[in-house]
């Protein structure tokens, strides 16, 4: 059976998340214009296979996937960055196992210049360990001379 999946579009990549937990025998094959996903997954170790002809071409050598306990996230690098994909599949028909990931979807035509490239974001997302805001607080102390007292303002004792 096909695994259920969600996808969203970014300026230079397309993301697909296959919602299968505890995957075994995972195989993800990226071709120039298709993706082939198969695994055993879930508590029953059921076999899943998803094959999809993609809306556009991808750089299959640069595309990556990352397995987590809950799902397998694929980052497909677009062959042509900056062209939006209105859908993931080549065919207009509905792909029964695929839905749009509305949490991550946004119209990137308006705002994307400040955006990290999706690939950087993908790496960053994979490495994030929380801790937002700490560096700024530490940085604030330096201005009050706590960290910077012995840095050459005192004359050297001869």
- Over residues 80-123, the pLDDT tens digits come to 999 999 999 999 998 999 999 999 987 655 554 445 555 566 66
Q: Does 132 score more than 70 pLDDT?
A: no
Pinpoint the alpha helices (H) of the chain: 118-127, 134-142
Q: How far apart are CA 52 and CA 76, in angstroms?
A: 13
SS3 for 109? coil
Closest CA to 79 of 146, 148, 13: 13
* 40-48: average pLDDT: 93
Q: Is the distance from CB of 95 to CB of 41 less than 8 angstroms?
A: no
Q: Is the distance from CB of 31 to CB of 63 less than 8 angstroms?
A: no
Instruction: Find where tokens 């996937």 sit.
Output: 65
Neighbours of 79 (CB within 10 A): 15
């Amino acid at each position: 059976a096909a695994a259920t999946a969600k996808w969203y579009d970014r300026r230079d990549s397309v993301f697909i998340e296959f919602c299968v937990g505890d995957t075994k025998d995972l195989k993800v094959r990226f071709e120039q214009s298709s993706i082939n996903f198969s695994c055993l997954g879930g508590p029953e170790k059921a076999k899943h296979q998803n094959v999809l002809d993609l809306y556009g071409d991808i750089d299959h050598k640069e595309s990556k996937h990352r397995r987590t306990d809950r799902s397998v996230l694929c980052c497909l690098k677009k062959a042509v960055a900056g062209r939006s994909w209105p859908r993931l599949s080549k065919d207009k028909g509905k792909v029964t196992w695929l839905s749009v990931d509305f949490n991550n979807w946004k119209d990137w035509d308006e705002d994307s210049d400040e955006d990290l490239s999706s690939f950087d974001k993908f790496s960053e997302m994979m490495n994030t360990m929380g801790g937002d805001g700490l560096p700024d607080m530490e940085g604030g102390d330096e201005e009050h001379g706590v960290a910077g007292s012995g840095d050459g303002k005192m004359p050297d004792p001869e």
